[in-house]
Amino acid sequence: MAPAGAESGGRSAEPAGFQNPVAGFGVTFKAMFKKRLTEQYPEQPKTTAPRFHGRHQLNRHPDGLEKCVGCELCAWACPADAIYVEGADNTDEERYSPGERYGRVYQINYARCILCGLCIEACPTRALTMTNEFELADSSRENLIYTKEQLLAGLDEGMVDSPHAIYPGTDEQDYYRGLVTEAAPGTEIQTATSKGEKPDSEGVDA
Ligand code: SF4
Ligand code: SF4
């Protein structure tokens, strides 16, 4: 019977003892002629793939109202328990989204988040998406908890900051049908008044 570790014919499967270091240097030798992959970060940050999962964003409708309805589905879908949501009812005086409810409190803890994207898949209104921003490191745990104000998207052309009324003559469904494309004339006055600010007459449509 052949001894354990030996091939048939009496030859050993292992290289001879003096060959082991040489084989190790072979790997090093091959790597010496490969193209260098050193990246000059942060001076020259690399562009991410278009669908890279980075920092989250809470999106708005084209008139500036918020898409989040405070349903908490994203929080339930999160395997890392990184999302905290508190929903609340909209009122005629203070409306943040076209429907009945909105996200009053919204937080994502980036000390927990693994950027897996399950939360954005669970969101029924496409309120929650992920950007390509990946520079999220911080030395403070507190700073890694992003609030709704930090996550809410900025205002594009034609948008007015919430709270304000829905576009006159439309309902919540019309927002999802794409029938509302910008804020109604006079929305800025309404928003400023509801925030207790003095309306800026120059920035208001006739
Ligand atoms: S990306 Fe994943 S871990 Fe991060 S908040 Fe969403 S579900 Fe949770
Ligand atoms: S982000 Fe989407 S899933 Fe999360 S509470 Fe808002 S509407 Fe619901």
pTM: 0.80
pLDDT on residue 8: 44
**78 pLDDT more than 60:** yes
Q: Write out pLDDT tens, residues 90-129.
A: 999 999 999 999 999 999 999 999 999 999 999 999 999 9
Could you tell me if residue 151 is inside a domain?
Answer: yes
Distance 82 CA to ligand 1 centre (A): 6
Is 205 within the bounds of a domain?
A: no
**Lowest-confidence pick of 5-9, 155-159, 196-200:** 5-9
Residue of 197 and 54 predicted with greater confidence: 54
Number of structural domains found in the chain: 1
In a domain, 25, yes or no: no
What is the average pLDDT score of the chain? 87
Classify residue 65: in a domain, yes or no. Answer: yes
Asked, for residue 163, whether it belongs to a domain, the answer is yes
> Does residue 149 lie in a domain region?
yes
CA 179-61-173 angle, to 5 degrees, is 45
Tell whether residue 116 is among the known ligand binding residues.
yes
**Would residue 104 count as lying in a domain?**
yes
Domain extent at residue 177: 56-191
Domain contains 165: yes
The CATH number of residue 164's host domain is 3.30.70.3270
- Supply the residue whose CA is at minimum distance from atom 6 of ligand 1: 119
Beta-carbon neighbour count of residue 181 at 10 Å?
Answer: 10
